[in-house]
Amino acid sequence: MSDIRNSDGWFINSEVFREEAKHFDKYGYYCPDPPGSLAYIDYWKEQRKRRIEGYSVGGVKITGDHYDYLNFSQIKMQDKKNRATIESKNRSATKKPFFPDFWDGDYDYFHNVDIARYGCTPEYLKQIQLNSNVPTLLDGGYHICVGKSRRKGFSYKNGAIVVNRYDLIPFSINIIAAFDKKYLYPEGTMKMANDYINFKSKHTAWGKKRDYVDKIDHKKASYKITDSNGVEIEDGFQSVIMALTCKDNPDALRGKDGTLILFEEAGKFPNLKDTVKATLPTLSDGTSVTGQILIFGTGSGAEDAEDDWEDFAEIFYNPVEYNMQVFENKYDEDFFNEPCSFFFPDMMNQIGNIDKQGNSLKEAAVKYRKDAFDKIKTSSKKGLSALNGFLQEYPNKPGEAFLVSNNNDFPTQLLKARHSKLTTGGLHKTIGLNIELYKEDGEIRYRIINDAEPLLDWKPKFLDLSGNVIQYEPPIRDAKKGTYVIGLDPIRETSKTKGIISANAAYVHKGDNNFSYMGNVIVASYIGRPRSQDAYYQQLMLLAEYYNADIMHENEVIDVRNYFRRKKKLHLLAAEPKEVINLHIEDSGVSRDYGIHMAEKIKIAGLKYIGEWLMEEMSNGTLVVENIPCPGLCEELIKYNRLKDKNGSANYDRIMALMLLLFQRQQDEEGTIYGDNTVKSKRDQLFEFLANQYN
């Protein structure tokens, strides 16, 4: 056991790493010896060495950046005399400039930045005992992407790293980049860097003149001299810090031979991918990596635009593609043990739930977050969006940080309750009839399949994926066109993405009408992948005739149209929903007679339609989500992950089928004209229905 850290990895004497800061706090200066004396020079040489190589005490080492941050970088934080603690109920506090405390989360972060840049041995990695994420690549030359909870002081930490490079590496180019300048100055990371520079100039032996460039967004350590010919020239360290904005210009950093490039507020950086890709070549020389990128941020809150954080999430979950340090995902169930970037959860470094030695009290922090979450749940008028926004701001796993709250606003708790109700006791196996449709004497009939194996789960538990039609409610006799619609997500020719087998998915939806007890419900489904695709289409065609429904399908799969053309049944395919497309895509260049082209903006709109539809109130006072008959659809909606959908690592066939039928319903509202090219009011439809019944 070390005198600094016990056998369980808890720090028991972390103050040894802050001796210089404590001395300055007590006396107002660092070195008592007169400037220029041998003792003075030796003191500052030793401090500079620690800022470069790190500092070890009792077998425990912190990095050079961490040492500089603790001892020479004052930050604005709560007054330590009045700080709310785990022992006190006092919650009021003020903020002033102080040297930062030692925290275990910072210990991890600074080590990971160092390992990503310079590498380390497996023995060293084991020795330093990281508390959370452990890197998998130890050969160095990597950048680092950080997904984090808010209010963890990363702007301070990264600002200190930037200034340490500026102060220690001559001719270095250190860049702080953001999408918008408001994240850089006058109160952003560039402001913090400027404060650190000024503090070092005033209180240490490392002050550097800035004769040529000393602006709010650009600092250069250099001074004027006159050569032997009387010519004024620039001399000195010549290291640089500059702040750059990348709004509407992802090439802003192209050609900058950066030593360190910091991407600030990555969760609000919609063109982050393009900017990083344009920047990466400037930090390499052949096979060598000459600089380092640090990307950090928090997933945007629920009120923010969808595009803000998607690039950030893409880089976070795909570190290899961007030469980022790789970590194993130990947090997300859907991504467990898959590669991801560095994640800093809310339970680490949580003020009020960290002890005097800097150890994060994770259980207490989790409870504190839960209490705050429950308070929002019971008091907020914004409902699900407020809860999702809170989780994105204060996540304990990446899946919370990158919630798709604007596009995937699904009521997961209600869906889980519905799924449980369906599957507990086997209700899902009896709620509908397993049938096969056939035509006899010109009528569509069905036979019950007693030994059916319908695909009821999102991920089927058996090999035969043929599936069958499930009827939850028979059609209204002589139902008018438009009463029922079908959404179809067909399989591709080789619909097998990353080892995941897809199935055809179709749902029949009954709209609100005057002829049955309850509308706005799914009345039938057909999920399956029979050996012959024509066999699926044959049952689907009969299903459309059975319910007098048009089929809205994804028209990139051309064999759907080809099959219905061969059977002379093209009239069963829904026309392209032009009004819906025009609502979301201006001047769409894709125009087809039948179905819809699932462009990205269309899919985003479809996810919103689903979220709204699930929360619609039905005529019996319940919500749509409480009446879903298909457990597989509940599972998909619960598990839906925007990133996995985009990169093809998961299939959401049922969601796509549901989305397609809702596009048809939306088209109805925009003015679709059926049959005889007249739009009948519900009153006219009712009169016609009663007349037919009388006849």
> How many structural domains is the chain composed of?
2
Poorest-pLDDT segment among 167-171, 417-421, 541-545: 417-421
pLDDT in tens, 451-476: 999 998 887 766 788 999 999 999 99
Domain boundary at 100, 125, 142, which?
100
d(CA 635, CA 658): 13
Q: Tell me how crowded residue 600 is: count the other CB atoms within 10 A of its CB.
A: 10
pLDDT in tens, 660-682: 999 998 887 764 433 333 334 44
Predicted confidence band of residue 304 (pLDDT cuts 50, 70, 90):
very low
Task: Identify which of 432, 646, 630, 446 has the alpha carbon closest to the alpha carbon of residue 638.
Answer: 630
Which two tokens mark 339?
């590669």
Q: What is the structure's pLDDT at 303?
A: 44
Q: Is 505 part of any domain?
A: yes
Predicted confidence band of residue 684 (pLDDT cuts 50, 70, 90):
low
Q: What is the structure's pLDDT at 677?
A: 33
d(CA 564, CA 570): 5
Q: Is 588 part of any domain?
A: yes
Average pLDDT for 106-126: 97
Please say whether the beta carbons of 276 and 315 come within 8 A: yes
Q: What is the structure's pLDDT at 209?
A: 95
Task: Identify which of 23, 110, 12 has the alpha carbon closest to the alpha carbon of residue 58.
Answer: 12
* Domain at 488, CATH number: 3.30.420.240
Q: Is 608 part of any domain?
A: yes
Domain boundary at 100, 122, 155, which?
100
Q: Tell me how crowded residue 424 is: count the other CB atoms within 10 A of its CB.
A: 9
Q: What is the structure's pLDDT at 331?
A: 86
End-to-end CA distance of the chain: give it in Å, rounded.
94
Domain boundary at 63, 81, 100, which?
100
Greater model confidence, 346 or 305: 346
Q: Which residues of 428-442 are buried (b: 16+ CB within 10 A; e: fewer)?
A: beeebbbbebeeeee
Q: What is the structure's pLDDT at 243?
A: 95
Tell me if residue 565 falls in helix, strand or coil: helix
Q: Is 570 part of any domain?
A: yes
Q: Which residues contact 144 (CB under 8 A, 6 or more apart)?
A: 112, 113, 116, 292, 293, 294, 295, 324, 325, 341, 342
Task: Identify which of 262, 257, 290, 259 has the alpha carbon closest to the alpha carbon of residue 276.
Answer: 262
Q: Is 181 part of any domain?
A: no
pLDDT in tens, 21-42: 999 999 999 999 999 999 999 9
Tell me if residue 176 falls in helix, strand or coil: strand
Q: Is 383 part of any domain?
A: no
Q: What is the structure's pLDDT at 496?
A: 46
Q: Is 348 part of any domain?
A: no
In which element (H, E) is residue 319 found?
Answer: none
Poorest-pLDDT segment among 132-141, 184-193, 573-582: 573-582
Poorest-pLDDT segment among 136-145, 273-282, 453-462: 453-462
Greater model confidence, 70 or 519: 70
Q: Is 107 part of any domain?
A: no
Average pLDDT for 602-622: 88
Q: What is the structure's pLDDT at 500?
A: 54
In which element (H, E) is residue 553 found?
Answer: strand 550-553
pLDDT at 241 over 80: yes
Q: What is the structure's pLDDT at 306?
A: 41
pLDDT at 290 over 70: yes
Which two tokens mark 592?
């087809």
Q: Which residues contact 56 (CB under 8 A, 6 or more apart)?
A: none
Q: What is the structure's pLDDT at 632?
A: 93
pLDDT at 623 over 60: yes
Q: What is the structure's pLDDT at 298?
A: 86
pLDDT at 387 over 80: no
Residues spanned by the domain of 516: 432-694
**Alpha carbon distances (Å) from 344 to 109, 140, 350:** 8, 21, 11
Average pLDDT for 369-394: 79
Average pLDDT, the chain: 86
Instruction: Please count the residues of the chain.
Output: 695
Share of the chain above pLDDT 70, in %: 87
Q: What is the structure's pLDDT at 257?
A: 86
